[in-house]
Amino acid sequence: MAVGSHSLSTAICYEVVYPDLVADFVQRGSQLLTTITNDAWYGESSAPFQHFEQAQLRAVEQGRYLIRAANTGISGIVDPYGRVVAASAIFERTIVTGDVKFLNGRTLYGRTGDAFALSCVLLTLLSIAATLRRRQASASSR
């Protein structure tokens, strides 16, 4: 979607919890992240807060402002560092306003995705395998 010469993307409801989907938006040029959601079915549980926090993570991962509109959950604006610029309470009928910027830069995570985490898992598995081999060699030499 475009606003003048700027590009933005919209994750619908639970789509915002998927890092790959939001990363794809940014790879295709999104300069601003938005999400709309119906959190009514969560009721007064902790889920609306968790859903909002997951959206915050997408802003940090991709280095973008994120605007969230929720019918009964938390509506708000999150900056690229995960700071909540403005937010509503759950079940509050209000208008949330604030300033956002269209951004172009890419974060390290935005460029590499889960490569670092997967490398750490691989390194851990290799270390465990090497330790087990040493133990087996030590036990068989006794």
Region of 89 (left: φ > 0; alpha: ψ -120 to 50; beta: rest) is beta
Q: pLDDT by residue (tens digit) across 88-132?
A: 999 999 999 999 999 999 998 888 888 888 999 999 999 999 999
If asked whether residues 132 and 67 sit together in one domain, one would say no
If asked whether residues 52 and 92 sit together in one domain, one would say yes
Mean pLDDT for all residues in the chain? 93
If asked whether residues 7 and 19 sit together in one domain, one would say yes
CA–CA dist 63, 83 (Å, integer): 12
CA–CA dist 3, 43 (Å, integer): 34
Phi, then psi, of 139 in degrees rounded to 5:
-70, -35
> How many structural domains compose the chain?
2
CA-wise closest residue to 10 among 44, 43, 55: 55
If asked whether residues 11 and 51 sit together in one domain, one would say yes
If asked whether residues 61 and 14 sit together in one domain, one would say yes
If asked whether residues 11 and 46 sit together in one domain, one would say yes
Predicted local distance difference test score (pLDDT) of residue 30: 96
Predicted local distance difference test score (pLDDT) of residue 140: 81
CA–CA dist 138, 142 (Å, integer): 7
* Structural domain containing residue 72: 2-106
Predicted local distance difference test score (pLDDT) of residue 103: 95
Label residue 20 by pLDDT band (50, 70, 90). very high
If asked whether residues 51 and 92 sit together in one domain, one would say yes
pTM of the complete model:
0.82
